[in-house]
Amino acid sequence: MKRLIVSLLGIFVALTIRANEGMWLPFLLESNIGEMSEMGLHLTAEDIYSINQSCLKDAVVGFVDLDKPFLHFCSGSVISAQGLVITNHHCGLDVVRQHSSLQNDYIADGFWAMQMSDELSANNVGVCFLRWMEDVTGKILQGVSDTMSVKRRNELINSNISQLEKAVSDSTGLKAHVDAFYCDNEYYMSVYEIFEDVRLVGAPPMSIGNFGGDTDNWVWPRHTGDFTLFRIYADSANHAAPYSENNVPYKADNHLKINAKEKHEGDFALLMGYPGTTNEYLPSFAVEAIQDVYDPIVVDMRGKSIEIIRKNMRANQQVKIKYTSKAASLANAWKKLQGERNGLKNKHVIDKKRALERQMGDWIAVDTLRKAKYGSLLDNYAKEYAVYKKYRRAKMLVDETFYNSEMIDLCSDIRAVLKGSSSDEEKRAKVLAWLRDFYADYDLTTDCDVTENLVDEYFVNADKAHVPSSLQSVKENAPEYVAALLKKSLLADSAKAFTAFRNYTEKTRKKIENDPLFKFTAEIDAVYSNIKTPMQKSLKKTDEFQRRFMQLQRECFADKRFFPDANSTFRVTYGQIRSFHPSDAVVYSAFTTLGGVFEKCDMDVYDYTAPDRLKQLFEAPDFGPYCNADGTMPVGFITTCHTTGGNSGSPIFDADGNLIGLNFDRVWEGTMSDIQFDADICRNIGLDIRYALFIIDKFAGAQRLIDEMEIIGD
């Protein structure tokens, strides 16, 4: 009987909790659409992605820095016929910061443009629409043969890519970009339209948009109102154009309807956007390096920096404004990697990978052709990986120490520009722009405190060969020595720095390079390149092994549906709203409500404060039409969709393609999903769209924005 119950339970679990692993390509959904329909989707593949009709992808955007137009740092969606875009608060935070000052502290107080003319330009931030995507593997691999050297292969591929990108961009006026998929085995082209005039429309105060702060980051249950509104502007012909006062709101090919109805456990969820990077097909030894070498370096070194920055932020309001976003980005990876490491260990991922490798070994062993092709692959890969790992560790230590020291990092960038071949005028302009950015949110004391600690850690952890000689001679005084260099440098005094670079000519370069910090940075840069050059050589070899290892996995497990690793291209993922067991005896339900915000506030934790106005609305209660049938106000929910960094702001759709939420995070127990997805514990965290509507309408009183949207209620 017991066994029967167990096996029935097994079937039940298999039927209800689908392993929703996978970030699928929008133009290749045929192999998924059957499963998606079984899970509850009411749409066709063409409703999601089409080049013939308007479809959901036409309302999904990627956020980019205009100088890196193919690296989507966040995702978002269009929610009105006037180009209104919703994304996460943490995605727009930098823009909010740019417009904030002690007098107008939009970070603390929020920002709401009550009329269109109040909307604020989001300098250098652009949004892109994917116009189409296609498999161009044949074109890119033209002329490539299995017998050619890796170097020749890569040269040929790169030249084929540039030619194709140029031809398509030139003929369409759009931006074509070819990316490698399946570990460099296939190539697909994405063609984007990129809009440069994007403006900030509304952002809740930090105490809503980042409620729970770093305490709750990566954590469920979550109560963060992580959303911000932007608007896309276009020229009078509705085309992408640089910022101009004459631009008008953009009419996108599609905008989303918003489903403001109540959600339920098990509801189907569809999610789209631009996931950045995953590594799902690594061999066991690479996972071991992540778990035991790379993740611990970041966790250990950043932990202390974060403590120092937070202490200074608490002591000084000015430092708090300047370092809010910097501290958040340092803490983000720090905390995530702790979760990743625990998940990899608890779910025995290394053992599971080893078991797969044994299966592959057996598959190879029974066939002479397979033996010839793959017989020695894993052994050789492991040997080369050991070489790579040594350099990668050394490089990470330099990155985490010296290039996480703000002034040394800037100094290193300036050195590189000054050594470059551009004209004096270009060099001057570039450095002056960096200086303006740098001093806008810089605090010398904090940087010195952080740097001192990092140098201390470096001394303990780095190989002697990678300790710059000037530090070897001052030995245990190295931390204070480096901090003193920062204080003595011309970069410590913004006026001096601006003067030096405003008057920069090749002749004054010597003088700048004699600055003690520039000299020291030259030593660091030399150490760095001594590590990087052999590392990159080794990386080329390990990449080639990984390419072949990917081929092996696809051949050996031919029945498995493989999705390509995330690479900042458009992806579709799907799953269900699902509670989960994070650990023994603990169950997390799938929804949070506003009551949870005030339970947390009572705990007197630094990150848990909510605006009085929110409390009044809660106590009234005054939730408008946005609450659940039982009168509670929804805030967050979790689903089994497979997501990663870059998916922030991704729209979450219901079975009919209406917007029900915004992705903004994953649960800490499941951040291992970048390496291996585990349906038991991997969940993404979404903001219930009803909470955003409630904040816009009831909290901010920005009715004009609600009026733009198409909301489907009960």
Beta-carbon contacts of 288 under 8 Å, excluding residues fewer than 6 positions away, are 350
Amino acid at 517: L
Q: In whole angstroms, how close is the CB of 648 to ligand ARG at the nearest point?
A: 5
Q: Is 341 exposed, middle or buried (0-12, 13-18, 19+ CB in 10 A)?
A: buried
Q: How far apart are CA 658 and CA 621, in angstroms?
A: 27
Site residues for ligand ARG, 664-683, by CB under 6 A, read 665
Maximum separation of any 2 CA atoms in the chain, in Å: 88
348 in catalytic set: no
Pick from 152, 155, 156: nearest CA to 142 = 156
Tokens of 157: 């591929």
Which entry of 72, 90, 177, 642 is annotated as an active-site residue? Answer: 90
Q: Is residue 218 part of the contact set for ligand ARG (CB under 6 A)?
A: yes
What's the CA angle centered on 654, arms 648 and 659, to 5 degrees? 55
CB-wise, 72 or 392, nearer to ligand GLU?
A: 72
Q: Is residue 404 part of the contact set for ligand GLU (CB under 6 A)?
A: no
Q: In whole angstroms, how close is the CB of 325 to ligand ARG at the nearest point?
A: 9
Site residues for ligand ARG, 81-140, by CB under 6 A, read 90
Q: Is residue 666 part of the contact set for ligand GLU (CB under 6 A)?
A: yes
Size (the chain), residues: 714
Q: How far apart are CA 334 and CA 336, in angstroms?
A: 6
| DSSP codes joined into one string, 483-500 | HHHHHHSGGGSHHHHHHH
| Tokens 């996108």 found at | 252
Please select the residue that binds ligand GLU; options are 305, 648, 658, 676, rule is CB under 6 A: 648
Q: In whole angstroms, how close is the CB of 44 to ligand GLU at the nearest point?
A: 28
Site residues for ligand GLU, 63-102, by CB under 6 A, read 74
Buried b (16+ CB within 10 A) or exposed e, 427-447: bbebbeeebeebeebbbbebb
Amino acid at 369: L
How many residues bind to ligand GLU according to rule CB under 6 A? 10
SS3 assignment, position 278? coil
Which entry of 226, 295, 654, 665 is annotated as an active-site residue? Answer: 226
Q: Is residue 213 part of the contact set for ligand ARG (CB under 6 A)?
A: yes
Tokens of 564: 């390509």
Residue 112 gets the label, from left (phi > 0), alpha (psi -120 to 50) or beta, of beta
Pick from 203, 195, 196, 245: nearest CA to 98 = 203
328 binds, among ligand ARG, ligand GLU, none (CB under 5 to 8 A by kind): ligand ARG
Q: Is residue 647 part of the contact set for ligand GLU (CB under 6 A)?
A: yes
| Tokens 């002591």 found at | 315
Q: In whole angstroms, how close is the CB of 644 to ligand GLU at the nearest point?
A: 5
Site residues for ligand GLU, 614-643, by CB under 6 A, read 643
Window of 324-332, 412-420, 445-453, 462-470 that interacts with ligand ARG by CB under 6 A? 324-332
Q: Is residue 32 part of the contact set for ligand ARG (CB under 6 A)?
A: no
Total Cβ atoms within 10 A of residue 529: 11
Which entry of 207, 489, 648, 673 is annotated as an active-site residue? Answer: 648
646 binds, among ligand ARG, ligand GLU, none (CB under 5 to 8 A by kind): ligand GLU
Q: Is residue 663 part of the contact set for ligand ARG (CB under 6 A)?
A: no
Q: In whole angstroms, how close is the CB of 213 to ligand ARG at the nearest point?
A: 5
CB-wise, 446 or 673, nearer to ligand GLU?
A: 673
Tokens of 206: 């930090």
Q: Is residue 210 part of the contact set for ligand ARG (CB under 6 A)?
A: yes
Q: In whole angstroms, how close is the CB of 486 to ligand GLU at the nearest point?
A: 31
Residue 385 in contact with residue 286, Cβ under 8 Å? yes
Kindly state the DSSP code that residue 121 receives in the 8-state scheme.
E
- CA 289 and chain centroid, separation: 22
Q: Is residue 217 part of the contact set for ligand ARG (CB under 6 A)?
A: yes
Please select the residue that binds ligand ARG; options are 21, 105, 119, 214, rule is CB under 6 A: 214
Please select the residue that binds ligand ARG; options are 332, 342, 461, 628, rule is CB under 6 A: 332
453 binds, among ligand GLU, ligand ARG, none (CB under 5 to 8 A by kind): none
90 in catalytic set: yes
31 in catalytic set: no
Pick from 535, 536, 290: nearest CA to 390 = 535
Pick from 566, 693, 585, 590: nearest CA to 638 = 590
Residue 234 pairs in a beta bridge with 248
213 binds, among ligand ARG, ligand GLU, none (CB under 5 to 8 A by kind): ligand ARG
- CA 55 and chain centroid, separation: 25
Site track for ligand ARG across 44-83, x = CB under 6 A: ----------------------------------------
217 binds, among ligand GLU, ligand ARG, none (CB under 5 to 8 A by kind): ligand ARG
Tokens of 170: 């030139």
Window of 8-16, 155-163, 418-426, 658-666 that interacts with ligand GLU by CB under 6 A? 658-666
Question: Site residues (CB under 6 A) for ligand ARG?
Answer: 90, 210, 213-214, 217-218, 328, 331-332, 645, 648, 665
Question: Site residues (CB under 6 A) for ligand GLU?
Answer: 74, 643-648, 664-666
Catalytic residues: 90, 226, 648
